[in-house]
Amino acid sequence: MKLTTKDLKVLHNIAITAAEAAGLYIASKSKEDFVVNSKEGGNTLASQVVTEVDLLSQELILKFIEPTIYQYDLGLLAEESEDDGSRFKKDYFWCIDPLDGTLAFTKRKPGYAVSISLISKSGESVIGVVFDPIINNMYHAYKGSGLFKNEHAWTPRVRDTEIVINQGGAVMNACWVLDNTPAVFYKKPKPQKGGGCLWDYGATACLFKEAGFIASDIHGNNLELNRKESVYMNHSGVLFSSSSKSYKELASTYL
């Protein structure tokens, strides 16, 4: 089923509602005690830590998202569920990170967010929604819409000095690149599993595309957001830039 612009707008609005509901729930739990567990992940603590808040945030998101799966014949990839392969069978799939930056959340530090995207079978992100539950900022876009922040069309303000950002989860790092234009966030390739997963970059890839900024792998190629080999992105690294510099200039400076 090919989605129209009208379909994308409807689904984008549902994703905003879901992200806000999950974000407000996360915020309500941020100062309480919660259970912290470990799970199989990459080779870093950040990819292995999980809380009951992650799981319940995902359940809350799915209450809004699941009806659209049947109505629009969509697949699903969510961090806290097993990959059922539906992303390879459907024309589009929801890609959900119910609480990116869990390690920052457990330390009660900024850098965590809710991330929801809709990605085509070919790996193009066509909806991106991110909610920062600390300051209630909503970053959102759908294909052809331009970039929005808190329901207003948004052109990030250009500051004087280009900076490198790498202090929170991958989702908020990318959003901070937008907030602090011109800025750069990158991860170089590595042999171990890690480097973030598909759900860490699905939403922000759409945001950056709609802003006219760079969201690519470390070699300047489009991000593989529906790769069959793995959900991890360590094979190619990532580069998010709100700088006016070309990929070639960025690569010679940072990579």
Q: Mind listing the pLDDT tens digit for each residue in 83-106?
A: 999 999 999 999 999 999 998 998
pLDDT over threshold 90, residue 9: yes
Instruction: Kindly report the pTM of this predicted structure.
Output: 0.94
Q: Is residue 48 scored above 90 in pLDDT?
A: no
Q: What phi, psi does 178 have (nearest 5°)?
A: -70, -45
d(CA 244, CA 155): 14
Domain count, the chain: 1
With 70 as the cut, is the pLDDT of residue 219 above it? yes
Cβ proximity of 121 and 226 under 8 Å: yes
In the predicted structure, residue 43 carries a pLDDT above the cut 60? no
3-state secondary structure of 223: coil
Contact 53, 41 (CB under 8 A): no
- Looking at the predicted structure, is the pLDDT value of residue 42 above 60? no
| Contacts of residue 171, Cβ cutoff 8 Å, sequence gap at least 6 | 97, 100, 101, 113, 115, 130, 200, 203, 204
Tell me the two tokens of residue 28. 């309500």
Give the number of other Cβ atoms within 10 Å of residue 153's Cβ.
10
Peptide bond between residue 182 and the one before it cis (omega within 30 degrees of 0): yes
Q: pLDDT value at position 47?
A: 56
Residue 244's CATH number: 3.30.540.10
Q: What is the pLDDT of residues 206-217, one digit of tens each?
A: 999 999 999 999
The single residue listed with the structure tokens 């922000």 is 204
What gap in Å lies between CA 111 and CA 192, rounded to an integer? Answer: 23
pLDDT at residue number 33: 77
Distance CA 161, CA 159 (A): 6
Taking the C-alpha atoms of residue 149 and residue 15, their distance in angstroms, rounded to an integer, is 14
Residue 90 Ramachandran class (φ > 0 left, ψ -120 to 50 alpha, else beta): beta
Q: How confident is the model at residue 46 (pLDDT cuts 50, 70, 90)?
A: low
pLDDT at position 38: 66
Give 249's contacts (C-beta < 8 A, 6+ positions apart): none
pLDDT of residue 95: 98
Output the average pLDDT for the chain. 93
| Residues 135-180 pLDDT 10s | 999 999 999 999 999 999 999 999 999 999 999 999 999 999 999 9
Domain that holds residue 219: 5-254
SS3 state at 113:
strand
Tell me what the mean pLDDT of segment 19-37 comes to.
Answer: 88
